[in-house]
Amino acid sequence: MSAVSRTEAQQRVDDIRVFERELDRLAREQVLQLSDAQRSALVAHHQQLLAGYTQAFDVDRDRQARQLSLGMRIASFLGALALAASVFFLFYQFWGLLDTLVQVAVLILTAVGTFVATLAIQRRDASGYFTKLVALVAFACFVLNIAMLGQIFNITPSDKALIPWAAMAFLLAYRCDLRLLLAAGILCVIAYISARTGTWGGLYWLDFGTRPENFFPAAAVLLAVPQVIGHERFAGFAATYRVFGLLTLLLPILVLGHWGYGSYLDFHPDLIEGFYQLAGFALSAVAIWIGARRDWPEAVNTGIVFFVIFLYTKLFDWWWEIMPKYLFFLVLALTLVLILLVLKRLRAGGYLAGAGREA
């Protein structure tokens, strides 16, 4: 069996199940009939693959197993939150009883210990559920470590704390193949770049959110990462970067489209709002087009959602006050149906189809 990732193994198992159902259907329709020897060889080969993948990756072999896996993922996430909260309140319960040296030692040993435990469990946990649980606790302990060390030594709060937090999240995400921790690292990067941009614009670092344009550099970085760095071994990582990149780009544009006073641009607020409304429509359409060309469904879906939001807010500005409410929502519904028909026609005609596919 060639070296594959857990995601590739799960995809192969799913393909085998689909193939078996289609083969049975073709046999009933007397389109394809395999000899007993051929069917026995095929079944033996599939069973060998399934046994190997199950042993190596603990894959879901059927629909019932997939449903249980969803419950296990939810349970591992909630368990990690509960454990992190337990550690947090345990520290604060007895923190005042410890001297400074013991406090520092406890913080360092807790962070290092949970990180080592994550690596140890990851080697033995084929399913990944217990790895996710311990990894989230390790990240929470590391964040708590940095924050409380700052309090102990009376260090002024700074956005620079986001750098080690992001590094820890990315280390655990790439080492253990965990998209949840990748998202945590991305959020730290967004906050840090936006805060730095805000300080360059003369703001206190905690006030970076008062200028939505501070998020644009972070959006550019996130959208560029999957284009520069290959993520073939990490299923869903490139899509996660793109989704967060689009959110970091389009959400500030949505805000600025109705709050021109929050812009750095030295123009009349109405002109700024009109510019960002047009930019929102244009960039949403570009996200849909590029997503369809590159086979990035997450970009298509995000673009469609924001295009509809921009459309709704614009129609609201135009007609909410002058139209009866039933007529407004009727016009909105008809507009959305029109968008649906256009997308359907484009899909049927292949106008959005592209040769490029994500590696």
Residue 188 located in a structural domain: no
| Residues of the domain holding 338 | 211-359
CB 308 within 8 A of CB 336: yes
Burial class (CB in 10 A: 0-12, 13-18, 19+), 85: exposed
Single residue among 12, 36, 61 that ends a domain in this structure: 61
> Per the confidence metrics, is the pTM higher than 0.95?
no
Other CB atoms within a 10 A radius of the CB of residue 136 amount to 25
For the chain, what is the domain count?
Answer: 3
Do 356 and 283 have their domain in common?
yes
Do 343 and 255 have their domain in common?
yes
For residue 97, name the pLDDT band (cuts at 50, 70, 90): confident
Residue 205 located in a structural domain: no
7-11, 208-212, 255-259: which has the minimum mean pLDDT? 7-11
Do 130 and 255 have their domain in common?
no
Predicted pLDDT at 136: 87
Residue 203 located in a structural domain: no
Whether residue 254 is predicted with pLDDT greater than 70 in this model: the reply is: yes
Residue 129 located in a structural domain: yes
Average pLDDT over residues 84-106: 78
Residue 14 located in a structural domain: yes
Do 144 and 279 have their domain in common?
no
Do 218 and 346 have their domain in common?
yes
Give me the amino acid identity at 224. Answer: A
Do 224 and 342 have their domain in common?
yes
Do 252 and 354 have their domain in common?
yes
Residue 359 located in a structural domain: yes
Do 35 and 121 have their domain in common?
no
Do 121 and 226 have their domain in common?
no
CA 72 to the chain's CA centroid: 19
**CA-based nearest residue to 215, from 239, 182, 191, 185:** 191
Residue 204 located in a structural domain: no
Residue 199 located in a structural domain: no
- Alpha carbons 50 and 2: distance in angstroms, whole number: 14
